[in-house]
Amino acid sequence: MKTNSSKLTGKILALLAALSLLISSCGSAKSKTYVVGVIVELPWLAAIYDSFKVSMTELGYVEGQNITYLYNPEVGSDQAAFDAEAQRLMDQKVDLFFTIGTLTTKAAQKAVEGTNIPVVFTPVINPVAEGVVKDIAHPGGNVTGVQIIDRSPKALEWALKIAPQTKHIYMPYNPADTITMMLVNGGILETIPKLGLELEPSQVSDVNEMLERVDALPEDTIIFLLSPISSLETGLEQLSQRAQARGIPIFTINRDVGLSPFPVANYTVSIAAEAQQGARMVDRIFQGQKPADMPIETAEYFLQIDLKTAQIYNLPVSDEILSQADTIIR
Amino acid sequence: MKKSLQTRLTVYFTILVLIPLLLVGAIGTWQTYNRERQHALESQDEITKLVAEQVQNFIDTRENDLLSLINIYGFSSASFEEQSALLSSLFSKETVYEEIILTNGRGRELLYLSRADVITNQELGSRAGADEFEKTKETGKSYFGTVSFNEATGEPYMVIAIPSFNLQSGQLANVIIAKFRFKSVWDIMGQADVEGSGSVYMTDSNGYVVADANPSVVLKRAQVAPPSKNQFATGISGEAVALAVKQIKFGDQVFYILAEQPVAEALALAYNNMILIAAVTFFAMFAAGILGLLASRQITTPIANLATSAQLVSAGDLNQTAIVESEDEIGALAQAFNAMTKQLRELIGSLEQRVTDRTKALTASTEVSRRLSTILNQDQLVKEVVEQVQSAFDFYHAQIYLVDDAGDLAMAGGTGEAGQIMLERKHTVSKGRGLVGRAANTNAPVLVSDTQTDSNWLPNPLLPETKSEVAVPISLGNEVLGVLDVQHNQINGITAENSALVQSIANQVAIALKNAFAYTEVEAQAKREALISLINQKIQNSTTIESTLQTALRELSIALGVQEARITLKVNELSDSGKLA
| Per-residue pLDDT tens digits for B81-136 | 989 988 988 888 888 999 999 999 999 999 999 988 899 888 999 999 999 999 99
> What's residue B572's pLDDT?
66
> What's residue A217's pLDDT?
95
**Distance between CA atoms of B430 and A209, rounded to whole angstroms?**
179
> In this structure, which amino acid lies at residue B576?
D
- Name which residue leads in pLDDT, A170 or B554: A170
Cβ–Cβ below 8 Å for A136 and B153: yes
Are residues A135 and A156 both part of a single domain? no
Return the percent helix, strand and coil in chain B, to nearest 5. 50, 20, 30
Q: What percent of chain A has pLDDT over 70?
A: 91
Give the nearest chain B residue to A267 (CA atoms): B115
**Is residue B581's pLDDT more than 50?**
no
Are residues A168 and A223 both part of a single domain? yes
**Is residue A17's pLDDT more than 50?**
no
- Interface test with chain A among B14, B153, B218, B301, by most A beta carbons within 10 Å: B153
Average of per-residue pLDDT across A288-310: 92
Could you tell me which of A261, A186, A197, A266 has the C-alpha nearest to residue A225?
A266
Average of per-residue pLDDT across B247-258: 95
Are residues A58 and A132 both part of a single domain? yes
In this predicted model, what pLDDT tens digit does every residue of A197-208 receive, in sequence order? Answer: 999 999 999 999
pLDDT band at A4, cuts 50/70/90? very low
> What's residue B576's pLDDT?
54
Where in B491-557 does DSSP place strands (E)? none
> What's residue B574's pLDDT?
54
Residues of B in contact with A136 (CB under 8 A): 151-154, 219
**Is residue B48's pLDDT more than 70?**
yes
Are residues A40 and A143 both part of a single domain? yes
Which residues 149-178 in chain A show a CB within 8 A of chain B? 149, 151, 153-154, 156-157
Q: What percent of chain B has pLDDT over 90?
A: 35
pLDDT band at B201, cuts 50/70/90? very high
The reply to whether A259 falls in a domain is no
Q: How far is CA B329 from the centre of its chain?
A: 17
- Name which residue leads in pLDDT, A296 or B347: A296
The reply to whether A313 falls in a domain is no
Cβ–Cβ below 8 Å for B118 and A194: yes
Rg (CA), chain B: 70
Sheet with A67-71, strands from edge to edge, namely A67-71, A34-40, A96-100, A119-125, A143-148, A297-298
C-alpha separations of B333 from A174, B294, B339 in Å: 113, 21, 10
Q: How far is CA B331 from the centre of its chain?
A: 19
The reply to whether A22 falls in a domain is no
Are residues A145 and A156 both part of a single domain? no
> What's residue B575's pLDDT?
54
Question: What number is the ipTM of this complex?
Answer: 0.82
Residues of B in contact with A297 (CB under 8 A): 215-216, 219
Are residues A237 and A224 both part of a single domain? yes
Average of per-residue pLDDT across B5-23: 80
Q: How many domains does chain A have?
A: 2
Are residues A93 and A224 both part of a single domain? no
Average of per-residue pLDDT across A262-271: 89
In this predicted model, what pLDDT tens digit does every residue of B259-298 receive, in sequence order? Answer: 999 998 888 887 887 788 778 877 877 887 788 788 877 7
Say which range, A24-33, A117-126, B564-573, has the weakest mean pLDDT. Answer: A24-33
**Is residue B309's pLDDT more than 90?**
no
In this predicted model, what pLDDT tens digit does every residue of B173-189 receive, in sequence order? Answer: 999 999 999 998 999 99
Contact by Cβ (8 Å): A155, A253: yes
Say which range, A298-302, B505-509, B549-553, has the weakest mean pLDDT. Answer: B549-553
Expressed in angstroms, the distance from the first to the final Cα of chain A is 93
Cβ–Cβ below 8 Å for B286 and A5: no
**Is residue B258's pLDDT more than 60?**
yes
The reply to whether A316 falls in a domain is no
In this predicted model, what pLDDT tens digit does every residue of B385-408 receive, in sequence order? Answer: 888 888 878 889 999 999 888 888
Domain of residue A76 covers 34-149+270-301
**Is residue A30's pLDDT more than 60?**
no
* Of A318-322, B209-213, B491-495, highest mean pLDDT: B209-213
Are residues A50 and A145 both part of a single domain? yes
Domain of residue A128, CATH code: 3.40.50.2300
Average of per-residue pLDDT across A125-135: 90
Which residues have CB under 8 Å from A247's CB, separation 6+?
A: A219, A313, A314
Which residues have CB under 8 Å from A260's CB, separation 6+?
A: A237, A240, A241
**Is residue A71's pLDDT more than 80?**
yes
Tell me if the domain spanning B375-518 has CATH number 3.30.450.40.
Answer: yes
Are residues A129 and A186 both part of a single domain? no
Residue B164's DSSP bridge partners are B174
Could you tell me which of A234, A220, A292, A278 has the C-alpha nearest to residue A49?
A278
- Interface test with chain B among A8, A296, A305, by most B beta carbons within 10 Å: A296
Q: Residue B81 burial (CB < 10 Å; 0-12/13-18/19+)?
A: exposed
